[in-house]
Amino acid sequence: MHYPGSIKKEYKKNANYANRGMDLESELNISNEYYLNNNRALIYKKPTPIGIVSVDYKQAIITKAYFKTPSTLDYNGLYKGKYIEFEAKESLSKTSFPLNNFHEHQIIHIKKAIQHGGIVFIIIRMNGNTYLLKGSDFQNYLEKNKRKSIPYTYIEEKGKIIKDGITPRLDYLSIVDEIYFKEEENGK
């Protein structure tokens, strides 16, 4: 059974932000909060999709629900007038990033979102680094290789390292600027 990453996070509310061992999702959440408060971007984590089976309406409590499979990526929003969407994953394997991290619908969605002009990417934490891999590079690998994982060498070659910081914790938008907005700013 695959559990969405956010569930474990619910129990980590009191996590210390200064803690170097913070997980990727928490680091992205505080980075997005920083972007929001500084009016740089509006990017949110989507709620975990669930199916509600029963509700205690008196107490306003859900008493039974199940996890649904997501069709889109975990984060989406608006940056410099553009649609942005991404997924974030930590890989325990040091040699390859397993593709069973993604549902089939999500892979189709990535392709479509690129076609429709969205900025789409994957954030992968692996071997102690945090990489931003363009959706098109992810897509290209999948189409050319019928493998169940992406080798770390490919992620190292194509991905860009997102530097650790304090404010924001993970400044992934500076990589987005570099990849997606540099040409525009130079008048192409």
Single out the segment in contact with a copy of itself by CB under 8 A; choices: 50-58, 91-99, 143-151, 174-182: 50-58
Tell how strand 50-56 and strand 42-45 pair up: unpaired
Which of the ranges 23-31, 81-89, 126-134, 165-173 carries the binding residues for a copy of itself, by CB under 8 A?
81-89
Beta strands in the chain (DSSP E): 42-45, 50-56, 61-67, 75-79, 82-90, 96-98, 119-126, 129-134, 149-151, 160-161
DSSP state, residue 168: S
By DSSP bridging, strand 119-126 and strand 82-90 are parallel
**How does DSSP classify residue 178?**
I
Of 53 and 107, CB closest to a copy of itself: 53
157 vs 185 by CB, closer to a copy of itself: 185
**Other residues' Cβ atoms within 10 Å of the Cβ of residue 171:** 18
Structure-token match 């306003």, residue found: 60
Strand 61-67 and strand 50-56: the pairing is: antiparallel
- Distance in Å, CB of 117 to a copy of itself, minimum: 3
Q: How far is the CB of 35 from a copy of itself (least distance, A)?
A: 11
179 binds a copy of itself (CB under 8 A): no
**Shortest distance (Å) from residue 67 CB to a copy of itself:** 6
Q: Give the binding range for a copy of itself (CB under 8 A) out of 71-79, 90-98, 138-146, 154-162.
A: 71-79
Q: Which of 30, 67, 103, 174 binds a copy of itself (CB under 8 A)?
A: 67
Instruction: Report CA-CA distances (Å) from 120 to 85, 109, 136, 137.
Output: 5, 10, 8, 10
Q: Which of 12, 17, 38, 52 binds a copy of itself (CB under 8 A)?
A: 52
The contact set with a copy of itself (CB under 8 A) reads 1, 3, 7, 10, 39, 41-42, 44, 46-53, 55, 57, 60-68, 71-72, 76-85, 109, 112-113, 115-118
